[in-house]
Amino acid sequence: MKKIINITNGTGTGELINDSYKVEANVVGYDNTSINPSNVDIVEGTNDYSFTIAATGTLTLHVTDNGTASGNPIIGATFIRTDSTGTEYGKQITTDDNGDAVFENVPFAATGAPLIYYKQTASDGDHEFSTDVQNTSMTMSEETLQIENATGATRTINLVDSNYSNLPIEEATITLTN
């Protein structure tokens, strides 16, 4: 007997009798032979069963000050995988001396590739970045995205005497710490 269980958002249900089953997967973008476990015993009293499957793609995020391959690399920017709502999964990755942060084991497929969600969580302290959830899909096993972390905008800081309206302070320093 063959029973197909449709999975949506990581979960599916189906009526199964107690027996031993060979498990096969059909997941676009993943290595279907990596389904684990590949055999399962369905037994009375147990109604929840979990499986894992692996992907083999590599997504490199190349972070520069202008978002191009020839820009100045940003070292120390961090990213994390998320779902579409921003829930974080796995470990953060950090850009290296070349400005590259690498997500290993991500899904890819020539057609119908699933979306890969991620967000940036920090930069190097001198560059601005978006914390919005981003997404991409991969049609090849290795792909590189160009990410811009623009130099912080020039800001004017004014310091005046609080007791004498608009009297500028001639010399001082102000330290801003985030």
Domain locations in the chain?
Answer: 19-54, 57-148
- Model confidence pLDDT, tens digit, residues 116-170: 999 999 999 899 999 999 999 999 999 999 999 999 888 899 999 999 999 999 9
Res. 1: pLDDT tops 90: no
Res. 178: pLDDT tops 80: no
Q: Which pLDDT belongs to residue 177?
A: 85
Matching CATH number, 57-148, of 2.60.40.10, 2.60.40.1180, 3.40.50.2000, 3.10.28.10: 2.60.40.10
Residues 149/127, Cβ–Cβ less than 8 Å: yes
- Mean pLDDT over 39-56 rounds to 97
Question: What is the rounded CA–CA span in Å between residue 144 and residue 35?
Answer: 27
Residues 133/119, Cβ–Cβ less than 8 Å: yes
pLDDT: which is higher, 64 or 176: 64
Q: Which pLDDT belongs to residue 30?
A: 97
Residues 138/116, Cβ–Cβ less than 8 Å: yes
**Average pLDDT, rounded, for the chain:** 96
C-beta neighbour count of 26 within 10 angstroms: 9
Which H, E and C letters describe 23-79, residue by residue? CCCCCCCCEEEEEECCEEEECCCCCCCCCEEECCEEEEEEEECCCCCCCCECCCCEE
Q: Which pLDDT belongs to residue 169?
A: 95
C-beta neighbour count of 52 within 10 angstroms: 9
Q: How many CA atoms lie within 13 A of 74 on its CB side?
A: 30
- Model confidence pLDDT, tens digit, residues 6-28: 999 999 999 999 999 999 999 99
Q: Which two tokens stand for residue 71?
A: 């820009």
Q: Which two tokens stand for residue 32?
A: 């279907």
